Amino acid sequence: MARMYKSRKGKSGSTKPFVSEAPEWSNTDAKAVTELILELGKAGHSTAAIGTILRDQHAVPNVRLVLGKRIGAVLAENDIGGTYPEDMMNLMRQAVGIINHLGSGNHKDLHNKRSLEITEAKIRRLANYYKAEGQIPSDWRYKRDELRLMVE
């Protein structure tokens, strides 16, 4: 796939090997894994951080093989997590950082002005997807001046 914001061809990425069941050395106790996910979610960890902690400290290489669903689904069932999806919130945090940079005396920084436009375009595209999926309200709009309130 070609890069959207570069004039280069893209490189194909790696894919996980197909595995249908958890390895024998892994922790396959579904109840314990669910409790760990809920505990880490309440502590404020993101889904990516929870997956890393489970992999590195609790011998769970793939939560989906143990529970049959993703970490985000487990958190959503128990009403833990933010109002916005994690990838969209990360992009909004990135946009706030760029806006702060441009506002603190770096208003001539053309590269970061462009990166802010690109980041905002990504947010808008993701918003269209999440509106169609029903994960955010259908009347939600990206507004730069309200962005800090959404992120905090």
| Residue 83 pLDDT | 83
Residue with tokens 């990516």: 48
pLDDT at position 42 over 60: yes
C-alpha distances (whole Å) from 94 to each of 43, 48, 109, 149 are 22, 17, 16, 14
Do the Cβ atoms of 14 and 50 come closer than 8 Å? no
Determine the Cα–Cα distance for residues 46 and 43; give it in Å rounded to an integer. Answer: 9
* Pick among 3.40.50.300, 2.60.120.260, 1.10.287.10, 3.40.120.10: CATH of 86-151: 1.10.287.10
| Residue 137 pLDDT | 92
Residue spans per domain, the chain = 30-77, 86-151
pLDDT at position 120 over 90: yes
Asked which of 11-15, 54-58, 97-101, 130-134 is least confident by mean pLDDT, the reply is 11-15
Q: Out of 16-25, 33-42, 81-90, give the one with best mean pLDDT.
A: 33-42
Helix H or strand E encompassing 7: none
Mean pLDDT of 19-28: 87
Mean pLDDT of 49-74: 93
The DSSP secondary structure of 28-96, one letter per residue, reads --HHHHHHHHHHHHHTT--HHHHHHHHHHHH--S-HHHHHSS-HHHHHHHTT-S-SS-HHHHHHHHHHH
3 or 134: which carries more pLDDT confidence? 134
| Residue 1 pLDDT | 45
Query: Is the whole model's pTM more than 0.75, yes or no?
Result: yes
The DSSP secondary structure of 97-148, one letter per residue, reads HHHHHHHTT-TT-HHHHHHHHHHHHHHHHHHHHHHHHTSS-TT----GGGHH
| Residue 28 pLDDT | 85
Residue with tokens 């980041």: 119
